[in-house]
DNA sequence: CTCACTGCAAAGGTTTTGCAGTGGG
DNA sequence: CCCACTGCAAAACCTTTGCAGTGAG
């Protein structure tokens, strides 16, 4: 994704634009497949060798607070990040640490209809995420 | 839960029974609400002040491998554990770190039917977990 | 008896923090 | 210009590991 679009995303949230912030968001979007903080840093170091690890974590935290990216947690306890571009769920592989996106509007409709009918006591639903766990067939 | 039942759960998996193992599983079950390793250790220290933190982690890992407890992924920092007593999903509170269980067979049926029909390419589903995210109304 | 389990302590890796200096608006 | 952001390094944090000693089967 180009820097102009990325710049817009950041600006829309009223955040200051810095080269580091542009690079972090571009990395999360371009890497796509739920990168770890480490993956992101590795990519950014190519264009900005002096970026600090702490800075990347601070930027990611800012993005999470502003709803620009989401955290995705794995069983191995390493945090991964995911740019929010569309509503989707995740396929988790039991045999590797692969995580793939799963999109389906029909599924979202089914869930929405179900929860609208159920109306859980004392709980307001903001989001629903499915963790679909299994194995990829190679 | 009493130690006899807990002992049976461990024995059924062909694992050795030790006071530490009994205490860890009892703590996970009794605490109920998806305790962290730290919560578990805190409880156990009351009856077994000398138990080692490393031992608790090793025991929990053994239980996970043997399907006695599950790890619960939170989008925040810390790993939580959950005794497997029944198929269920989780309500995550955005404002606190509360996690509640959500049971509903109708939901499980709907999901099963949906995924049976969809048949995701190159992926065999072993389990599906819903993260229902929102706020508890106090 | 034997091997798996425990306790201990150190190491491992990830994420957070404090502070001085910098630069975006 | 000013305040928010960055770089740096240390530290906090949770979890894992190695090893010697112990105890369950």
Contact assignment for B73 to A75 by CB distance below 8 Å: yes
Please indicate if any CB of chain A lies within 8 Å of the CB of B103.
no
What does the pLDDT average to over A78-82? 88
d(CA B100, CA B92): 7
Tens-digit pLDDT profile for chain B (138 aa)? 889 999 999 999 999 999 999 999 999 999 988 999 999 999 999 999 999 999 999 999 999 999 999 998 776 667 899 998 788 999 998 878 789 999 999 999 999 999 999 888 889 999 899 999 999 987
Mean pLDDT across chain A, nearest whole number? 91
Reported as a single tens digit per residue, the pLDDT across A42-64 is 999 999 999 999 999 999 999 99
Q: Given B118, B124, B131, which is nearest A134 (Cβ)? A: B124
pTM of the model: 0.82
Cβ contacts (< 8 Å) between A72 and chain B: which residues? 75
Residues B72 and B115 in one domain: no
| CATH code, domain with B108 | 3.30.1490
| Full domain range(s) for residue A93 | 89-134
- C-beta of residue A122 within 8 angstroms of C-beta of residue A109: no
- Three-state secondary structure of chain B: CCHHHHHHHHHHCCCCCCHHHHHHHHHHHHHCCCCEHHHHHHHHHHHCCCCCHHHHHHHHHHHHHCCCEEEECCCCCCCEEEECCCCCEEEEECCCCCEEEECCHHHHHHHHHHHHHHCCCCEEEEEEEEEEEEEECC
| CATH code, domain with B66 | 1.10.10.10
d(CA B14, CA A92): 29
Reported as a single tens digit per residue, the pLDDT across A122-135 is 899 998 999 999 99
Residues B61 and B116 in one domain: no
Q: Which 3 state secondary structure label does DSSP give A132?
A: strand
The total of structural domains in chain A comes to 2
Strand C lies under 7 A from the Cβ of residue B16:
yes
Beta-bridge partners for A109: none
Residues B72 and B100 in one domain: no
Among B120, B126, B133, residue whose Cα is nearest residue B70: B126
């Amino acid at each position: 994704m180009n820097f102009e679009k990325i710049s817009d995303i950041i600006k829309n949230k009223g955040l200051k634009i810095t080269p580091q912030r542009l690079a972090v968001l571009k990395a999360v979007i371009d890497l796509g497949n739920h990168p770890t903080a480490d993956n992101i840093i590795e990519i950014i170091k190519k264009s900005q060798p002096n970026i600090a690890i702490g800075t990347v974590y601070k930027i990611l935290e800012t993005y999470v607070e502003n709803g620009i990216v989401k955290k995705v947690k794995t069983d191995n306890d390493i945090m991964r990040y995911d740019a929010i571009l569309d509503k989707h769920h995740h396929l988790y592989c039991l045999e590797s640490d692969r995580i793939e996106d799963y999109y389906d509007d029909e599924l979202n409709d089914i869930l929405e209809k179900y929860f609208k009918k159920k109306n859980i006591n004392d709980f307001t639903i903001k989001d629903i995420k499915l963790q679909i766990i299994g194995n990829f067939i190679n």
